[in-house]
């Protein structure tokens, strides 16, 4: 692959980035920042927005046929996919797994042929995925999970809605999938990374707090406040840029220090 460097101009000049979940919260903010940095935004959401998108595709990312139709409709020549659409732990467990995990993977895999060489894929995971190493058997079992098998999977692997388990598992599996794909499309210079925020002040913050109860409140107390969407979007934008071709398969916490806090506690540092 030709050597790519960034020397001048705006960070995402001439890049076309697909942003899922562009109608609200972190996706909305990411679309806004991509535009501000010179990129074109192809927005995807189940809800409509007029903001910060050059083209908008309304699609339900929990539905295989809808994703197939979306992929057929999207243009080629895409430089990045920001997989940001997601449901909170208060949504039904099957929907959480379909949107946050199965749909994300299905959409991404179907889009590889539409991507330019050197493209960047960023998965919005979560601090909720921090404990992924403790879920390896279920994560491995979910590798080829199909939409129609999600309900059985939830029962077999005990990843229903109790204390937000479906949400936590969806994010654990996304972190693991990102790591797994560190080199999958390396011959085309396509890289995949994840970004993992702790609680962020978006419309679904209340859903997290309702699920986590005192644990959620304690997290916010430790980090002094929830994060803001405008503190997450720059990390996604940076990963989309030509400055990051050697960042592969990694998971970047943007969490006010929470992931480090867990590690420091675990190892008594
Ligand atoms: N807010 C937080 O505290 C927090 C923390 C960590 C990770 N995250 C993750 O960040 C991502 C964005 O969350 P947010 O806080 O901006 O939430 P949000 O609700 O503000 O935005 C989510 C967007 O996804 C879209 N969406 C939901 N289901 C969809 C579907 N079936 N098809 C297409 N689009 C769909 C929604 O319409 C919405 O526009 C999610 O993946 C979430 O899990 C959020």
Does residue 3 have a pLDDT over 70? no
Tell me whether residue 1 is in a domain: no
How do residues 241-269 score in pLDDT, each as one tens digit?
999 999 999 999 999 999 999 999 999 99
Cα–ligand 1 centroid distance for 160 (angstroms):
19
Percentage of the residues of the chain whose pLDDT score is greater than 90: 94
Residue 7 pLDDT grade (very low, low, confident, very high; cuts 50, 70, 90)? low
- pLDDT at position 139 is 98
Tell me whether residue 5 is in a domain: no
DSSP secondary structure string for all residues of 188-240: GT-EEEEEEESSBSSTTHHHHHHHHTHHHHHHHHHTSS-B-HHHHHHHHHHHH
Domain range for 163: 11-266
How do residues 211-222 score in pLDDT, each as one tens digit?
989 999 999 999
- pLDDT at position 70 is 98
Nearest Cα residue to 231 out of 250, 216, 253: 253
Atom of ligand 1 nearest to the CA of 26: 16
Tell me whether residue 62 is in a domain: yes
How do residues 8-67 score in pLDDT, each as one tens digit?
779 999 999 999 999 999 999 999 999 999 999 999 999 999 999 999 999 999 999 999
Tell me whether residue 33 is in a domain: yes
Q: Which of 69, 85, 91, 150 to mutate to test the pocket of ligand 1 (most atoms within 8 A of CB)?
A: 85
How do residues 134-154 score in pLDDT, each as one tens digit?
999 999 999 999 999 999 999
Tell me whether residue 245 is in a domain: yes
Tell me whether residue 3 is in a domain: no
Tell me whether residue 59 is in a domain: yes
Cα–ligand 1 centroid distance for 87 (angstroms):
5
- pLDDT at position 162 is 84
Q: How far apart are CA 82 and CA 84, in angstroms?
A: 6
Number of domains in the chain: 1
Cα–ligand 1 centroid distance for 182 (angstroms):
24
Task: Answer left, alpha or beta for residue 38, where phi above 0 means left and psi between -120 and 50 means alpha.
Answer: left
Residue 235 pLDDT grade (very low, low, confident, very high; cuts 50, 70, 90)? very high
Tell me whether residue 4 is in a domain: no
Q: Dihedral of CA 109/110/112/115: which sign?
A: negative
CATH at residue 30: 3.40.50.720
How do residues 11-20 score in pLDDT, each as one tens digit?
999 999 999 9
Q: Atom 14, ligand 1: which residue's CA is nearest?
A: 25
How do residues 91-120 score in pLDDT, each as one tens digit?
999 999 999 999 999 999 999 999 999 999
């Amino acid at each position: 692959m030709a050597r790519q460097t960034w020397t001048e101009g705006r960070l995402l000049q001439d890049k076309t980035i697909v942003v899922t979940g562009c109608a609200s919260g972190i996706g909305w903010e990411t679309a806004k920042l991509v535009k501000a940095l010179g990129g074109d935004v192809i927005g995807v959401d189940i809800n409509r927005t007029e903001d910060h998108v050059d083209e908008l595709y309304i699609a339900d990312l929990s539905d295989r046929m809808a994703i197939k139709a979306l992929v057929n409709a999207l243009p080629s020549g895409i430089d990045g996919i920001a997989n940001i659409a997601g449901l909170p732990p208060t949504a039904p467990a099957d929907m959480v797994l379909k949107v946050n995990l199965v749909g994300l993977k299905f959409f991404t895999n179907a889009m590889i042929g539409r991507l330019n060489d050197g493209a960047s894929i960023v998965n919005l995971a979560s601090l909720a995925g921090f404990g992924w190493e403790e879920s390896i058997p279920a994560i491995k079992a979910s590798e080829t999970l199909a939409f129609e098998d999600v309900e059985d999977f939830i029962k077999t692997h005990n990843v229903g809605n109790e204390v937000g388990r479906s949400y936590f598992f969806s994010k654990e599996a996304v972190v693991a999938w990102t790591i797994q794909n560190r080199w999958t499309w390396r011959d085309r210079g396509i890289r995949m990374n994840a970004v993992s925020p702790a609680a962020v002040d978006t419309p679904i913050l209340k859903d997290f707090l309702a699920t986590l109860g005192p644990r959620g409140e304690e997290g916010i107390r430790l980090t002094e406040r929830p994060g803001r969407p405008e503190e997450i979007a720059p990390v996604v934008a940076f990963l989309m840029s030509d400055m990051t071709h050697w960042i592969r398969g990694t998971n970047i916490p943007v969490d006010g220090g929470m992931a480090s806090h867990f590690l420091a506690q675990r190892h008594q540092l």
